[in-house]
């Protein structure tokens, strides 16, 4: 029963707009499905990093030292603003030119950084996951199982977002509307950064 509750909690978290969703949707719309799937892999690796650190007890460090959390939080906000600025600057470039400027490895790395610095994910492991641990059993093993569930569910949601955005891409980026859509996506990323700064304040 606790596992079902955990799955519901993860779904609610992942379906709430945040930096991962904004970044992957924008990436899929501007650079295509393949590029965005590289970003999904990077985000998943970031989630795995949080899960492993949580299993090793690093969540307590973030909980006990607010400065560590604040540094990570503002670094995440700054990185999202950088992506928004970069997207705005390159809004007049063609989709082909944009794809050529970033390799799959670079897109994977950006996805990884976006999630590693995502306060939503950090807070989830610090504040929510411990509530699903039981007094009996190995806490580390239980954290590993919960972490694996989280990564699997989140990745499935992210892939769905990428595929949906890719289906809309030919229509949204057709003709003169392309410039405005790309700039709108940059504003979306900037908005996600502002929301992140506001909603994750402790």
Query: What is the per-residue pLDDT across 112-124, written as a single tens digit (0 to 9) for each?
Result: 998 888 877 877 8
Give the pLDDT score at 112: 93
CA atoms within 13 A on the CB side of 87: 29
Domain that holds residue 24: 2-199
CA 11 to chain CA centroid, Å, is: 14
Reading the block at residue 8, the tokens are 């519901």
Cβ-count burial of 100 within 10 angstroms (0-12 exposed, 13-18 middle, 19+ buried)?
exposed
Place of tokens 């994977």: 108
Taking alpha carbons only, the member of 156, 133, 131 closest to residue 144 is 133
User: For residues 62 and 117, what is the distance between their CA atoms, to the nearest angstrom?
Assistant: 13
* 143, two tokens: 């954290």
pLDDT reported for residue 44: 95
Question: Taking CA 34 as the corner, what is the angle to CA 15 and CA 178, rounded to the nearest 5 degrees?
Answer: 80
Residue 20: is its pLDDT beyond 80?
yes
Helix axes 19-31, 139-172, angle to 10 degrees: 40
pLDDT digits (tens, 9 = 90+) for 70-91: 877 787 778 778 777 776 766 5
Largest CA distance in the chain: 61
On whether the pTM is more than 0.85, the answer is no
* pLDDT of 96 above 70: no
Place of tokens 């939080």: 73
pLDDT on residue 108? 92
Number of domains the chain is built from: 1
pLDDT in tens, 173-188: 665 666 666 677 777 7
Determine the Cα–Cα distance for residues 87 and 106; give it in Å rounded to an integer.
15
pLDDT digits (tens, 9 = 90+) for 139-164: 777 888 888 899 999 999 999 999 99
Name the average pLDDT for the chain: 78
Termini Cα distance of the chain:
30
19, pLDDT greater than 90: no
Express as a percent the part of the chain with pLDDT over 70.
Answer: 78
Per-residue confidence (pLDDT) for residue 72, from 0 to 100:
73
């Amino acid at each position: 029963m606790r596992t079902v509750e955990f799955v519901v909690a993860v779904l609610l978290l992942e379906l709430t707009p945040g930096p991962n969703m904004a970044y992957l949707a924008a990436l899929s719309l501007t650079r295509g499905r393949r590029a965005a799937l590289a970003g999904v892999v990077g985000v998943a690796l970031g989630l795995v990093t949080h899960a492993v650190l949580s299993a090793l007890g690093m969540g307590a460090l973030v909980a006990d030292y607010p400065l560590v959390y604040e540094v990570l939080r503002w670094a995440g906000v700054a990185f999202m603003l950088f992506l928004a600025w970069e997207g705005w600057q390159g809004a007049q470039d063609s989709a082909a030119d944009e794809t050529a400027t970033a390799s799959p490895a670079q897109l994977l790395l950006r996805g990884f950084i976006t999630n590693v610095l995502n306060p939503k994910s950090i807070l989830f492991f610090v504040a929510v996951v411990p509530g699903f641990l039981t007094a009996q059993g190995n806490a580390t093993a239980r954290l590993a199982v919960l972490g694996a569930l989280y990564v699997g569910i989140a990745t499935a949601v992210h892939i769905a977002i990428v595929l949906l955005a890719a289906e809309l891409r030919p229509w949204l980026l057709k003709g003169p509307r392309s410039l405005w859509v790309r700039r709108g996506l940059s504003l979306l990323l900037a908005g996600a950064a502002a929301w992140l700064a506001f909603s994750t304040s402790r």
